[in-house]
Structure 1
């Protein structure tokens, strides 16, 4: 820091850097200010750089130094603000609610008697969070409305909008789903439009929305907001969501088939949270295990689920692994353990209910399976998201298949495929399409069944779901014996060779070198392939060839 820059100027520069997401620059400014003076505001700013970089120990130490500095200076408002954030850190990051209660009580005492200021509104937010945790929804609703009022009167947009986001959380708990999502999306829109005075509340508002999308199995909505959050992060050049928020984002990406992005998020968060809040760590391990299970990496999935302990998704994931291994009784037991951890009206129960239906039917317990289907039916009706409706139709189809009602089974499977595709969950759509193919084959519609199986195999191969793609290939071979009039192959052997290498990601030059051809010849082969398969791009041609079982 130049000698001509005062402490207050350095702090102001650090705050401007924080506002645009330049954590390293902000940290340098605050550290430089502290070299001149033990300024409470510099400690406060430094605490936020640690917070964004997920260093809780350093964050709390800096906040406590700021608290003591404000107290020494007689600044009750500043001290109250620090007490609030220290309490919040203890509540959500350190998992120490008793310590949080103490700091929140200290903040209320310091604010008592002061003229109304934004800190009064933030105290209402923190008190609402505590009330939510205690299940006192009426008190929580009253407090978030008060926070909004203070935000409006003090002209602090971030406080008002975050109060609206918190009201959305309360409404969600009260079962008012449409109103809840409207509040959460308004708050997130304001956050991503840059209306908040500070980035942290903006990030929290987006986190609350992503969490709601995950809880409701609203994959369509979640995917759209994940894109917006990612775009905002790119615009400011910094990671916008942190901690467990990245876990929510990672699972939404997993369900939407964006596995490479999901893996980057979940692996990074698991590494960072290993020594952090254990509740969050177990959450991310369960989601990472779910990704590994989808990828066909069963041993890694099992280890992640076991490390996650009794977390509800981990138990449902373990149940799915046991069922895939032929242990229906174990699967049912684990699914029940998952269900015991969730409220009766929670959409998150769908994971365990789906596995439970399969396990109960495998054990011949149709009545218990039907009870699970009835519960799924109720959730799908109440919540109404495409993914839950798809899960309902999938389990209705399985129940019909168990009753030897092939026509109803095929109709419900088709409904489930359509709803999974609408939801944008490609793995679920492909696996359901495989079940549809088997149901069609049972009604002697082998050609249609084979087409469905080929389409499923192409989607699974594109996702990277190797074991499931192999199962689809086995079904295609099985169904081929029932098809007496196979369609002629539209490609020549050489064209198939070229397309196989293109599917592996080789460039035209690399394909030419591999097959000892000219680049012009390879280019011509690809153009002819596109024409014969009625496609306009390499990826579309690979997908179509997969559907036709040419690769």
Structure 2
């Protein structure tokens, strides 16, 4: 009865998500475990972050099934070996196990659930080759097999695969609906722990890709609770930290976001997922850039690139901030040319608009903003709609239209509790009001933005807003005097200025006299030069 009791205690610990106790009790029975217990041992080892022990247990399980002629059982172990090895970055070895499983299935009935599991490997192979259409078809097959066999793990994975591919073909609403369905299986406890963790992370990543922050926030909270209920858990905790950091960044809790990204990076490296650390480092670089720590941001982006993650468009925006416009434009043009699917393009377009405008590539910026607006309308996600409104306001030369878009962006970002982005929209509104000559409205918008940026520690944005707020104090020019000076700068005579502004020539001359006195300059040419130097035009 001793081994029976020990196995029962191990199973009980496993069911209670006490992975360390389950592993220790099963490992103590090494040599006495059947296939089911070996799979449980391997799962517990994986969840503790001991991938080597996991692989050893799975290999023992595979051999035991082969020795007893249980071919389908051996296929299951081969599948898990291919999955675990692929997750550890050993794709070639994982491919070998998948090929072995396929060979074992050759003489088995066509309608067995194990074939559905091996299609997961085929799905990721298609994805690696950029075959979205093929991957979508395989995802649909996995769903069908999972439903037919009543297998919750396979069904949830198939829903995730199909949902993500639908999103990449532009069917975002339909794709997210399938992901929501997959999450139902997680919520009611139908899924095994490894599949549950994968589904959680896939769902949140998908939400982040289309700026569906409300959904992302809800599921990140659920993932945090799920991880916290398993004190010994190692996998998925890095992803959880990244997702928490992304939500904290949205809410402009920058110190807390940085702490989460740094924690995620440590966890990824410790778990042997160094490549995934690149995402955490890229997100960290974005926060450092927003706060004006450009040297640290560049170092973080460099580290991310070293792990194989391209930190864009954040790196291009940093290049713009540091005056390296040409390089930034080359980068965004290359990325836009390489990126085809609407989901990934949506992540690039907003940053690309800012980069292209900095390079005076106005037509390209307008096209990018229009494309983002089309995608946002199609996807319907609030974050994308807010981003699109802001970009449309940036590219238009009509200050009335810019003001409307700025107000829309500020409202949408406000609904998402994103103070930094809402304040940037208010800066755009302030610019529009200045162009319309409504200095009081401009001052109100810019003052509010300055206050927010100061509270958040977003130094570069604060300086920009402050410069706009004080643009007429570099000599105390009134709004009318600025209008006169701008017309002088483009070569208008006093008479032409008078006709444009519906003033008398004498009034224009008086304005010019006041401008010369306030700016302490002797001539029209000197006044224009001063205005250009102080960005009054």
In the alignment, structure 1 residue 123 sits paired with structure 2 residue 118: yes
Deviation at 1:55, TM superposition (A): 3.7
Counterpart pick for 1:374 among 345, 359, 370:
370
The answer to whether the Cα contact below 8 Å between 1:460 and 1:466 also exists between their aligned partners in 2 is yes
Query: 5 Å matches for 1:196-275?
Result: 196=191, 198-235=192-229, 241-244=236-239, 246-248=241-243, 250-274=245-269
* Residues 313 and 351 in structure 1, CA contact (< 8 A), matched pair in contact too: no
* Counterpart residue number, 1:166: 161
- Output aligned runs, 1:326-475, within 5 Å: 326-343=323-340, 345-400=341-396, 403=397, 405-469=398-462, 471-472=464-465
Measure, in 2, the Cα distance between the counterparts of 1:48 and 1:76.
Answer: 21
| Separation (CA, whole Å) in 1 of partners of 2:95 and 2:389 | 46
Residue 332 of structure 1 and its aligned partner are, at CA, apart by 1.4
Q: 2:319 — aligned with what?
A: 322
1:185-204 to structure 2, matched below 5 A, reads: 185-196=180-191, 198-204=192-198
> Structure 1 residues 243 and 107, CA, compared in 2 at 3 Å: closer, same or farther?
farther
**What is the CA–CA distance in structure 1 between the aligned matches of 2:292 and 2:50, rounded to whole Å?**
34
Secondary structure of 2:89's match? coil
> How far, CA to CA, are the matches of 1:367 and 1:141 in structure 2?
35
Q: Is the 8 A contact 2:82 2:94 kept in 1?
A: yes
Tell me which moved more, 388-397 or 142-151. 142-151
**What does residue 10 of structure 1 align with?**
6
Residues 195-232 of structure 1: per-residue CA shift (max 9 Å, x gap): 32x12111211211112112212222212221222233
Q: Distance in 1 between matches of 2:238 and 2:107?
A: 36
Q: Which has the higher contact order (CA 8 A, sep 6+)?
A: 2
Q: Deviations over 1:338-368 (max 9, x none)?
A: 334422x333334543333333333333222
CA contact (8 A) 1:11 1:45 kept: no
In the alignment, the residues of structure 1 paired with residue 156 and residue 348 of structure 2 have an alpha-carbon distance, to the nearest angstrom, of 35
1:82 pairs with 2:72: no
**CA offset digits 1:409-453 (Å, max 9, x no partner):** 222211221222234433211222223223323333333223323
Distance 1:413 1:355 in 2: 16
Contact 1:436 1:449 in 2 (8 A): yes
For the aligned residue pairs, the C-alpha RMSD in angstroms reads 3.2
CA shift for structure 1 position 87: 0.9
SS of 1:314's equivalent?
coil
Is the alpha carbon distance of 1:162 and 1:11 closer, same or farther for their aligned partners in structure 2, counting shifts above 3 Å?
farther
Q: Report the Cα distance in structure 2 between the residues aligned to 1:397 and 1:439, rounded to whole angstroms.
A: 9
* 2:102 pairs with 1:105: no
Alignment-derived partner of residue 293 in structure 1: 289
1:152-163 → structure 2 map (5 Å cutoff):
152-163=147-158
> CA contact under 8 A between 2:246 and 2:257: conserved in structure 1?
yes
- Give the one of 44, 49, 52 matched to 2:47: 52
1:210-258 per-residue CA deviation (whole Å, 9 max, x = no partner) reads: 1211221222221222122223334555658345565455434433434
CA distance in 2, matches of 1:430, 1:224: 24
Contact 1:192–1:202 (Cα < 8 Å) also in 2: no
Contact 2:27 2:41 (C-alpha < 8 Å) held by counterparts: yes
Task: Confirm or deny: 8 A CA contact 1:217 1:347 kept in the other structure.
Answer: no
Cα-to-partner distance string for 1:142-184 (whole Å, 9 max, x where unaligned): 5444434444454432332332222212322333221111110
TM-superposed CA distance for 1:26, in Å, is: 1.9
Question: By how many angstroms is 1:324 displaced?
Answer: 1.4
CA–CA separation in structure 2 for the residues paired with 1:171 and 1:93: 27
Q: In 2 relative to 1, CA 242–235 (structure 1 residues): closer, same or farther, beyond 3 Å?
A: closer
User: Are the equivalent residues in 1 in contact too, given 2:275–2:309 (CA < 8 A)?
Assistant: no
In structure 2, the partner of 1:530 is none
How many residues are treated as equivalent by the alignment?
A: 473
* Whole-Å separation in 2 of the counterparts to 1:166 and 1:32: 38
C-alpha displacement at 1:302, in angstroms? 0.5
TM-score scaled to structure 2, two decimals? 0.77
CA distance in 2, matches of 1:17, 1:428: 46
Structure 1 position 191, deviation (Å): 0.4
For 2:189, what is the secondary structure of its paired residue?
coil
Residues 259-268 or 405-414, more deviating: 259-268
Deviates more, 1:239-248 or 1:211-220: 239-248
- What secondary structure sits across from 2:167 in the alignment? helix
